[in-house]
């Protein structure tokens, strides 16, 4: 294999099956601490259906290599030590997330792992193909080099600490308590009550319009509320049948965002914006701005989409 490309897995890997899991929006003030906690055992972590959301979030900071394996798989036992060796040598520039497909059927289904070992990377939530089957160490290193280049092009250049933390386990730092309305929102999210969470965040913003944590949380919960229970195939069919139907296009864009296909979502709405008469564009621009805030201005995909929106406006 000489090249890896994020577009090659569009439609082949569907991480959107994990989108309906109620996950509390992350507080940016504690994001780095939580990201480090994912890798407290070093650069190699075991990931489950329940904890995969943390790895997806961490992939916005540092590239993740997902190793799908099973105890009975002979080639897996040949490849895994090679992956672990290369990742360890990279010193935290890449995290290896090991997924036992037998114990984590939802992840196996999401990645459509028809044969193992299967190795897929994550960059900013986007799946990137690497290889299937046991491959030589030299080839592994070549593909890792390509992965780091792609990560750098997408602004994912962070790293994690590989130090084990027995002392931290003995005396974990105490987190500051959440403000009451934030705590109410988090509790509601954990039970899937997105309407209550939205109301709590809206109240928090009314009390303090500069509460960026509440603003970020509100955007995430609104997205979760909009995509909850939506059938992806039906939504795409409806959008294809009515290319200028705003709600149909908004729904697919939301599903793309929740599935990690950020460029697809932005491209869909920007194309729609370009095709609509000037007096019908406002809702599309508003939805784009909302999604920009959800992804974050530091993301290069947001910068590119903003530039195109500006060119269409003027």
Active-site residues, by number, are 73, 76
Give 118's Cβ-side CA count (13 Å radius).
20
Q: Which two tokens stand for residue 175?
A: 């987190």
- Closest residue by Cα to residue 236 from 11, 6, 22, 9: 11
Question: Whats the size of the chain, residue-wise?
Answer: 314
d(CA 122, CA 95): 10
Closest CA to 251 of 267, 239, 263: 239
**The residue to which tokens 């672990």 are assigned:** 84
Q: What is the enclosing helix (H) or strand (E) of 121?
A: strand 118-123
Antiparallel, parallel or unpaired: β 64-69 and 95-100: parallel
**Cα torsion at 214, 218, 224, 226 (round to 10°)?**
180
């Amino acid at each position: 294999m000489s090249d890896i490309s994020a577009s090659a897995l569009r439609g082949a890997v569907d991480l959107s099956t994990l989108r309906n899991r109620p996950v509390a929006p992350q507080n940016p003030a504690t994001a780095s601490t939580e990201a480090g906690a994912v890798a407290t055992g070093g650069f190699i972590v075991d990931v489950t259906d329940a904890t995969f959301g943390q790895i997806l979030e961490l992939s916005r900071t540092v590239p993740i290599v997902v190793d799908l394996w099973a105890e009975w798989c002979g080639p897996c036992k040949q490849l895994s030590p090679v992956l672990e060796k290369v990742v360890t040598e990279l010193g935290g520039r890449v995290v290896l997330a090991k997924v036992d497909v037998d114990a984590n059927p939802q992840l196996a289904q999401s990645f459509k792992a028809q044969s193992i070992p299967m190795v897929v990377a994550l960059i900013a939530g986007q799946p990137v193909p690497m290889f299937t089957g046991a491959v030589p160490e030299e080839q592994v290193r070549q593909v890792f080099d390509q992965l780091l280049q792609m990560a750098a092009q997408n602004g994912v250049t962070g790293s994690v600490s590989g130090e084990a933390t027995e002392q931290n386990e003995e005396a974990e730092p105490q987190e500051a308590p959440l403000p009451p309305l934030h705590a109410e929102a988090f509790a509601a999210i954990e039970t899937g009550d997105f309407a209550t969470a939205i109301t709590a965040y809206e109240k928090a913003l009314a009390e303090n319009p500069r509460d960026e944590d509440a603003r970020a949380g509100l955007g995430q919960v609104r997205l979760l509320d909009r995509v909850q229970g939506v059938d992806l195939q039906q939504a795409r069919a409806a959008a294809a049948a009515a290319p200028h139907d705003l709600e149909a296009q908004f729904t697919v864009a939301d599903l793309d965002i929740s599935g990690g296909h950020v460029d697809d979502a932005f491209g869909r709405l920007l194309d729609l914006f370009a095709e609509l008469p000037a007096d019908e564009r406002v809702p599309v621009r508003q939805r784009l701005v909302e999604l920009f805030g959800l992804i974050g201005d530091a993301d290069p995909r947001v910068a590119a989409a903003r530039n195109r929106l500006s060119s269409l406006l003027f």
